Structure 1
């Protein structure tokens, strides 16, 4: 069963990864990843720590934007969905995105970023 959670109940790994990736700190973000991590963003897959580090460093870096967590859901102990609102200079100016995390051993094993399911 899926429950809505307060931001402070989201696992530390997820919160810290999001904080690092928001400021494009690939070194800090990679500390929260399993070796064979997979990140999917806009249908493009990034596999392994090296590709994901490059993704964190480069994704959206050409735009100025802010992020605000607008929701979080615990699916089960290893699956979380965090909804972020991005506002900035990218096309459209506003985007609500779901960050669907799968954890393994307390680290991020998979992250799928997709438009928010309204």
Structure 2
């Protein structure tokens, strides 16, 4: 059975397979992403982060679980690719603002 995700979150994972700009467009203009202890603020920084990580590694990402917790949408995704530690399950904590993502922390 396919995982039911809120539209902005489903759109993020669909865009993740494309490019940095496609991902950045899923966020609010002043959104924040925290990944690998680095913080990226705003769509330009988010697009750059995504483009750099996509250039550095090839990977596939499949959401496998989702729940709401304290106003956040928590998605566990299984990643496989040519990065150190592959495969790995990562936790994506999304905060939504309407039909966009305002905050994302990946751990």
TM bin, normalised by shorter chain, reads 0.7 to 0.9
Secondary structure (helix, strand or coil) at the match of 2:90 reads strand
Structure 2: gaps (5+ residues): none
How far apart, in 1, do the equivalents of 2:77 and 2:19 lie? 18
How far apart, in 2, do the equivalents of 1:46 and 1:90 lie? 21
For the 8 Å contact 1:82–1:98, the answer to whether it is kept is yes
| TM-score, length-scaled by structure 1 | 0.80
How far apart, in 1, do the equivalents of 2:41 and 2:57 lie? 24
In the alignment, which residue of structure 2 is the partner of 1:15? 10
Comparing 48-57 and 58-67, the one that deviates more: 58-67
Aligned residue-pair number: 106
In the alignment, which residue of structure 2 is the partner of 1:90? 83
Structure 2 residue 69 is matched with structure 1 residue 75 = yes
For the 8 Å contact 1:39–1:46, the answer to whether it is kept is yes
Secondary structure (helix, strand or coil) at the match of 1:7 reads coil
For the 8 Å contact 1:39–1:52, the answer to whether it is kept is yes
Structure 1: gaps (5+ residues): 1-5
How far apart, in 1, do the equivalents of 2:88 and 2:13 lie? 16
In the alignment, which residue of structure 1 is the partner of 2:32? 38
1:60 positional shift: 4.0
For the 8 Å contact 1:72–1:82, the answer to whether it is kept is yes
